[in-house]
Amino acid sequence: MTMIRFSAAGVRVRVDDDLRTLLHPTSLDLTERRVSVIGANGSGKSTLLRLVNGLTLPTTGSVSVDGVDTHSRGADVRRLVGFVFTDPLAQLVMPTGLEDVMLSLRRTGIRARDRRRAALDHIAAFGLGGHSEQSIYDLSGGQRQLMALASVLATAPRVLVLDEPTTLLDLTNRERFRRVLNGLHQQILFSTHDLELALDAERTLVVNSGTIAFDGAPADAVRFYRELAVTGTPS
């Protein structure tokens, strides 16, 4: 698996006259195939995820993916790491899934004249064959989320980062999305408020007030987080 390395990586931003810490200096080596990230609203989960592909840059320390530094080699890191946003409409930039996937394929070695066929095959593999040329606004929430995932995966990333990917999905689509995720060969790092989904991992990080408050087995992490949510202090 790929090595995602946080070396004392921290994020501070200026808000008015104050410096606010979004993530305290954090050191982590992530090599597991599935890593989930849980924690309260505003605890810093998205900040942590966004550091992995350079959407957010550390203000102290560094983050690298297989030795590729997010600060000095952002474009290279984004070729390695695909990012799926909570809201697929923030992701899909073209009017239809077909055009969006074709755009993604431009970043791979596929020749221009072969892209349409490759995009159609790729979309069909996600069970969305009948929806390739439908406006992304006319897709259901579940179809749209799957299309966004298909489009990111068309760039053949080695690592997939997903920020609360099932928040907008009903139970059926959440299960469908979950099955697709579990079948992927990519290394996956995802945040979620769905504690059952969090258990679909080999390692879970609990983020609390900009620090990793727990790092370990998913079931233990969920127990820790429940305790933290109820009492404010885990036992």
Ligand X SMILES: Nc1ncnc2c1ncn2[C@@H]1O[C@H](COP(=O)(O)OP(=O)(O)OP(=O)(O)O)[C@@H](O)[C@H]1O
Q: Is position 54 an interface residue for ligand X (rule: CB under 6 A)?
A: no
**Do 159 and 125 contact (CB within 8 A), yes or no?**
no
Structure-block tokens of residue 112: 């221009």
Q: Is position 208 an interface residue for ligand X (rule: CB under 6 A)?
A: no
Site for ligand X in 7-36 (CB under 6 A): 13, 15, 20, 22
Q: Rounded to the nearest 5°, which phi and psi values hold at 29?
A: -120, 120
Nearest CA-CA partner of 49 in 23, 72, 73, 25: 23
Q: Is position 58 an interface residue for ligand X (rule: CB under 6 A)?
A: no
Structure-block tokens of residue 188: 């996956």
Which of residues 45, 79, 122, 144 is near ligand X by CB under 6 A? 45
Which of residues 2, 46, 91, 151 is near ligand X by CB under 6 A? 46
Residues binding ligand X: number (CB under 6 A): 12
Q: Is position 206 an interface residue for ligand X (rule: CB under 6 A)?
A: no
* Residue 71 or 116 having the CB closest to ligand X: 71
Q: Is position 47 an interface residue for ligand X (rule: CB under 6 A)?
A: yes
Q: Rounded to the nearest 5°, which phi and psi values hold at 229?
A: -70, -35
Sheet strands (E) in the chain: 4-15, 18-30, 34-39, 60-65, 68-69, 81-84, 159-163, 187-191, 203-208, 211-216
* Residue 96 or 204 having the CB closest to ligand X: 204
Q: Is position 44 an interface residue for ligand X (rule: CB under 6 A)?
A: yes
Q: Which residues are near ligand X by CB under 6 A?
A: 13, 15, 20, 22, 39, 41-47
